[in-house]
Structure 1
Amino acid sequence: MNNIANDTRKAELLSTTVEHVDIKSFDARPIIDAMGKMSFTSRDLARATGIYNQMLADPDCTIFLVIAGSTSAGGCMDLYAELVRSNMVDGIVATGASIVDMDFFEGLGHKHYQALEIPDDNTLRSLYIDRIYDTYIDEEQLQDCDHTIGRIADSLKPRGYSSREFIRAMGKYLKEHGKKENSLVKLAYEHDVPIFCPAFVDSSAGFGLVKHQVERMKEGKPYMSIDAVADFRELTDIKIKAGTTGLLMIGGGVPKNFIQDTVVCAEILGHEDVEMHKYAVQITVADVRDGACSSSTLKEAASWGKVDTALEQMVFAEAGSVMPLLASDAYHRGHWKTRAKRAWGKIFG
């Protein structure tokens, strides 16, 4: 194919943008109420929504949003942003992909696209189109994200940074140069909601940070780096100071284990009186039989001293299909309107 044909084909495939759900535009309370009188996943979702509302209504509860998977690319990006804007979460633990490749990426003005057809993946590769199931990303735009991360790294003093620190710098960049008002990274910066990515370089950030380090090494200059231990220490510090905590978890993996481990870490540091996470909701499609962290039930986490079993709920469902209902219900019940703003990001100066 010649370049003109390539450009035309690429434009055809990237013609329909993913539109992110607006939880304010509909009231899911009647649906959740009805589901509570049903069975199976419907009832599980209604109970999970009730637990999230209890977190919001508890004046002592700090709420962590925990995100793994590709729900941000799939249409939940504005949903997560609204949770920050409306003071419905106080801290975020996520995969690097959710924060960098998806939210920061759109904050720079780029888009995700619906795959109306899925041609051979080698064809997609030849057109520089990346695929997430039925969603497309323009690889050239993603590389702009990589290079932007590199430029942010170049602007920082050469030392170790927690992912929270670096993501705060990303939020500041979007506030000054961003193209999207409704960015989770930007709003978290503005509201002092700390974001932690325990595997930060497993994302577009990794490419930009490697480029930063390689170029600095060639010049014989010191470089910045990501301090994963600082992530764990800072997040544990929030847990110790917060006391009562609740978890709203989408998917599993590293973010789920990382936030749960803060209880054990606090104990190791001598805080014997640290509370287990009082509330916990997890939405996942993972099977429990392989012993993986993504699929371990919340009751299992209680055996490790991480999560209390009284107010926990597993919901085995694709998160993009149920999170809009849960979040819309909680938004319209309005417990967030009287919540104290915690601004945990401020404790790090």
Structure 2
Amino acid sequence: MTTDTLNKVQDTSKVNDTRKAELLSSPVEHIDITDFDARPIVEAMGKMSFTSRDLANAAKIYNTMLEDKDCSIILVIAGSTSAGGCMDLYTQLVKSNMVDAIVATGATIVDMDFFEALGHKHYQAKEIPDDDTLRSLYIDRIYDTYIDEEQLQDCDHTIGRIADSLEPRAYSSREFIKEMGKWLADGNAKKPNSLVQTAYEHDVPIFCPAFVDSSAGFGLVKHQVDAMKRGGRYMVLDAIADFRELTDIKIKAGTTGLLMIGGGVPKNFTQDTVVCAEILGHDDVEVHKYAIQITVADVRDGACSSSTLQEAASWGKVSTAMEQMVFAEATSVLPLLASDAYHRGAWKNRAKRAFAKLFD
């Protein structure tokens, strides 16, 4: 361990703690929505009240999206549900043609999904020692979930190497994540079921509008610094291209539905495509016809993780006819919603959009 690391630990007497292997001994197991049928419980919850009825209504809206032959579905992910056990759930939605495009945080795509594709894992915390002790052991914590920081640095450096291999020019996050998927599919994946690789193989584009705010950022900074030291050129990320490309998808899709886990930048970025299309002269562009948001944020701070869906209607982004806010921690309700939709099977009759091919 370097002196730098020691300086970040408040109580250096804990540096020699030998408990790392013990603390990283219980991997998170990702839920399989094909392994259980949630239809009966979702139907029963629809006869209840409070969050139960909200969830049942959200499930009904999602099934309606899947049944609507004209509706393209955008999955929006913020927060740490992938680390918490929903990673394979998202992959199954792509495999089953239940989503057509993805907008997510960089942490979701890189720190969690790509990280596990490299063969690393997230771990359940059986106990939570002092966080300075965790720092001395190079263990990062997400609530009650652990990550080995040394493995996360492997992820950083891998992103840097992928960037080094590319032509030095501007890339949208979609383009770069496509290259990550291609790299995994070319025999480098140690876990075959990642969202990044599966989306690449099914022509489902992934956008990360704040991509550098993740493990990817460290690798990309190293890529640029190394290139500058060599006196050479380097790749850059084009955030404007992200917005333009996702707006292109909205224009092409016409009718759209949003399945949003969390909120923040991915949520607002996706909703704003309606306004952007109008700015580009597409006065006939539809607002997002369907919208579901699962969140623990509320309106007390004036935000609700980028406005309630009703508020978004005032901006001309979302219809209020088929929308549902579900105020719940997503890992507790999303598996029910996704399993219900999977077993109802409307996805079997959906046309594949393959929106990634728009940019070939």
TM-score (norm 1): 0.98
Which residue among 85, 90, 98 is the counterpart of 2:100? Answer: 90
Root-mean-square deviation over aligned CA pairs: 1.3
Matched, 1:158 2:168: yes
Runs (5+) with no aligned partner, structure 1: none
Give the distance between the partners of 1:153 and 1:3, measured in 2 at CA: 37
Relative to structure 1, is the Cα distance of residues 293 and 153 closer, same or farther in structure 2, using a 3 angstrom cutoff? farther
**Which string of whole-angstrom CA distances, capped at 9 and with x for unpartnered residues, describes residues 143-178 of structure 1?**
000000000000000000000000000001111200
1:182 Cα deviation (Å)?
A: 1.1
The residue aligned with 1:201 is: 212
Matched, 1:53 2:58: no
Matched, 1:101 2:111: yes
1:4 Cα deviation (Å)?
A: 11
The residue aligned with 2:190 is: 179
The residue aligned with 2:77 is: 67
Which residue among 15, 26, 29 is the counterpart of 1:19? Answer: 29
Tell me which amino acid in the other structure corresponds to 2:177: I
1:3 Cα deviation (Å)?
A: 11
Does the aligned pair in 2 maintain the 1:284–1:295 contact within 8 Å? no
Tell me which amino acid in the other structure corresponds to 1:335: A
The residue aligned with 1:35 is: 45
Give the distance between the partners of 2:259 and 2:39, measured in 1 at CA: 18
More displaced, 284-293 or 239-248? 284-293
1:289 Cα deviation (Å)?
A: 2.1
Give the distance between the partners of 2:14 and 2:89, measured in 1 at CA: 38
Matched, 1:312 2:319: no
Which residue among 243, 251, 258 is the counterpart of 2:269? Answer: 258
Does the aligned pair in 2 maintain the 1:287–1:295 contact within 8 Å? no
**How do residues 321-336 of structure 1 correspond to structure 2 at under 5 angstroms?**
321-336=332-347
Give the distance between the partners of 2:42 and 2:15, measured in 1 at CA: 50
Structure 1 runs (4+) deviating above 3 angstroms are 1-6
**Which string of whole-angstrom CA distances, capped at 9 and with x for unpartnered residues, describes residues 204-252 of structure 1?**
0000000000000011100001000000000000000100000000000
The residue aligned with 2:287 is: 276
The residue aligned with 1:190 is: 201
Give the match's secondary structure for 1:93. strand
Runs (5+) with no aligned partner, structure 2: 1-11
The residue aligned with 1:127 is: 137
Identity of paired residues, percent? 82
Tell me which amino acid in the other structure corresponds to 1:159: R
Does the aligned pair in 1 maintain the 2:74–2:103 contact within 8 Å? yes
Tell me which amino acid in the other structure corresponds to 1:260: Q
**Which string of whole-angstrom CA distances, capped at 9 and with x for unpartnered residues, describes residues 86-141 of structure 1?**
00000000000000000000001000000001000000000000000000000000
TM-score (norm 2): 0.95
